[in-house]
Amino acid sequence: MARCLKLLFVSTPVGPLGSGLGGGVELTVVNLVAALTQRGHQVAIAAPESSHIEAAQLIQIPGTLQPTAHTQWRDTPAIMVDNAVLANQWTYAHQIQHSYALIVNFAYDWLPFYLTSFFDVPIAHFVSMGSLSRVMDRAVTQIHEKFPGTLGAYTQAQVDTFPKGLTWQLLSSAIDLSQYAYCDTPGPDLVWLGRISPEKGLEDAVAAAQYTHTPLKILGKLENADYWQTIQQSYPNAPIDYLGFVNTKELQAIVRGCRGLLMTPRWVEAFGNVAIEALACGVPVVAYRRGGPAEIIDHGKTGWLAEPDNIESLVNGIQQLDHIDRHYCRQQAETNYSLPALGERFENWFETIIEQAPQG
Ligand code: HBI
């Protein structure tokens, strides 16, 4: 058991914790705080005001939220808004740094990477998405050159989108398995989870549902209304049922009774938390062999990896679902994606960074 570490997390500047605006990385921060606290460490979090988190020291930082980077282009400049919460978070971190053994950055933004050289206390950078812009590619490259070993990511597929030759710590992800109940008596329905937005490829799942005459439940934030409209017009007879955006409790109650989860990403998902949410309920996953899901699904054992953007291959995967052992899916979630496993992976990474940091 490692000694108790005093850690400062600086959360994503795109939204308060608990708002859902931070997407996958918000879930990572919340789960990681729980896992590390469980292991006896002390974690404080500097996050945009109106944040909420259970049982942890929260420092509410005022200021303007950062525009999201996931719609950025290769040449998008680094953005600094007036009275940026991002800048205010790092002003606070610089003032308070000597109270902590390590600072952990969760922002996918240029500023914290640039400021690292001006801090005495080491900074671990957890990168929450694949490569999006030249500015961030250069930022992570410079951290690799000056502070090797301090870059963390979810998966190898995510890392492969960045410039080659950098050193990354692969941390994967996790969920609180106690919130997901195993079910081995599913109905006939399939389910699709995610933001309704073009990079998620929902139209392919709808096409597959129509082709196989299998009812498809759809859950998630309706982020792009035009895109959703087009799907409905293209597949007027598809057996689909949109159930809106629900919380984890309601989500798992719906997912656990389904025959399988479909994942049809057009982009490289850095991880794909919805895949482990399904496995935790015993629900196998049919996913395009692309990004994080391709590293999560054990082909033929916890689901089926289809040829990317190939609906025929997706349909073939759906037809394999009844051969998958649902209990094995739950077991794999417990082995690889539990909070204790996440806490151990991050604790090992943090200990290594602290040991390698120049003392003083
Ligand atoms: N955009 N600028 C910016 N900064 C972030 O930290 C950020 C983002 N967009 C999305 C995001 N983080 C997270 O939702 C990712 O985990 C997807």
Atom of ligand 1 nearest to the CA of 68: 1
First to last CA, the chain: 24
State mean pLDDT over 325-341: 97
CATH code, domain carrying 197? 3.40.50.2000
Pocket test for ligand 1, best of 11, 14, 106, 195 (most atoms within 8 A of CB): 14
Residue 241 tokens, joined = 């049922």
Of the candidate ranges 66-80, 82-96, 174-188, the one whose mean pLDDT is the lowest = 66-80
Q: Is residue 12 included in any domain, yes or no?
A: yes
- Strand ranges (E), the chain: 6-10, 42-48, 57-61, 102-105, 123-126, 151-153, 169-170, 190-193, 216-219, 240-242, 260-263, 285-288, 303-306
Are residues 87 and 210 both part of a single domain?
no
d(CA 307, CA 286): 11
Are residues 82 and 184 both part of a single domain?
no
Are residues 112 and 258 both part of a single domain?
no
Which of 21-35, 109-123, 234-248 tops mean pLDDT? 109-123
Q: For 101-112, write each residue's pLDDT tens digit.
A: 999 999 999 999
Are residues 80 and 192 both part of a single domain?
no
Q: Is residue 168 included in any domain, yes or no?
A: yes
Which of 4-13, 15-24, 69-78 tops mean pLDDT? 4-13
Q: Is residue 61 included in any domain, yes or no?
A: yes
d(CA 67, CA 229): 26
For residue 126, the Cα-to-chain-centroid distance in whole angstroms is 11
Residue 102 tokens, joined = 């390590």
Residue 123 tokens, joined = 């900074």
Are residues 45 and 164 both part of a single domain?
yes
Are residues 150 and 191 both part of a single domain?
no
* Average pLDDT over the chain, rounded to an integer: 95
Q: Can you say whether the dihedral through the CA atoms of 24, 29, 32, 33 is positive or negative?
A: negative
Q: Is residue 85 included in any domain, yes or no?
A: yes
Q: For 102-141, write each residue's pLDDT tens digit.
A: 999 999 999 999 999 999 999 999 999 999 999 999 999 9
What is the reported pLDDT for 22?
Answer: 85
* Gap from CA of 22 to ligand 1 centroid (Å): 6
Atom of ligand 1 nearest to the CA of 25: 16
Are residues 166 and 243 both part of a single domain?
no
* Gap from CA of 107 to ligand 1 centroid (Å): 7
Q: Is residue 203 included in any domain, yes or no?
A: yes
Pocket test for ligand 1, best of 27, 111, 128 (most atoms within 8 A of CB): 128
What is the reported pLDDT for 1?
Answer: 54
Are residues 122 and 167 both part of a single domain?
yes
Q: What is the dihedral of CA 188, 285, 263, 153, to 10 degrees?
A: 160
Pocket test for ligand 1, best of 10, 11, 12 (most atoms within 8 A of CB): 12
Residue 148 tokens, joined = 């090797």
Kindly report the protein residue whose alpha carbon is nearest to atom 5 of ligand 1.
108
What is the reported pLDDT for 359?
Answer: 67
Are residues 143 and 206 both part of a single domain?
no
* Gap from CA of 67 to ligand 1 centroid (Å): 9
What is the reported pLDDT for 360?
Answer: 45
Q: Is the pLDDT of residue 176 over 80?
A: yes
* Gap from CA of 83 to ligand 1 centroid (Å): 19
* Gap from CA of 13 to ligand 1 centroid (Å): 8
Q: Is the pLDDT of residue 24 over 90?
A: no
- Calculate the alpha carbon distances from 123 to 118, 228, 324, 350, 358 in Å: 11, 41, 43, 9, 12
What secondary structure letter does DSSP report for 299?
Answer: B
d(CA 171, CA 173): 6
Percent of the chain with pLDDT over 70: 99
Pocket test for ligand 1, best of 31, 66, 70, 271 (most atoms within 8 A of CB): 70
Q: Is residue 19 included in any domain, yes or no?
A: yes
Residue 137 tokens, joined = 């590619």
3-state secondary structure of 95: helix
Of the candidate ranges 4-13, 296-305, 318-327, 351-360, the one whose mean pLDDT is the lowest = 351-360
Q: Which residues line ligand 1 (CB under 6 A)?
A: 12-14, 22-25, 66, 68-70, 107-109, 128-129
Instruction: Name the pLDDT band for 301 (thresholds 50, 70, 90).
Output: very high
- What residues contact 274, with CB distance under 8 A and at least 6 apart? 193, 194, 261, 263
Could you list the residue range(s) of the whole structural domain that residue 222 is in?
177-336
Are residues 195 and 302 both part of a single domain?
yes
d(CA 120, CA 141): 20
* Gap from CA of 186 to ligand 1 centroid (Å): 35
Q: Is the pLDDT of residue 308 over 50?
A: yes
Q: Is residue 1 included in any domain, yes or no?
A: no
Are residues 300 and 351 both part of a single domain?
no
- Give the count of domains, the chain: 2
Atom of ligand 1 nearest to the CA of 22: 14
Entry pTM:
0.91
Are residues 185 and 322 both part of a single domain?
yes
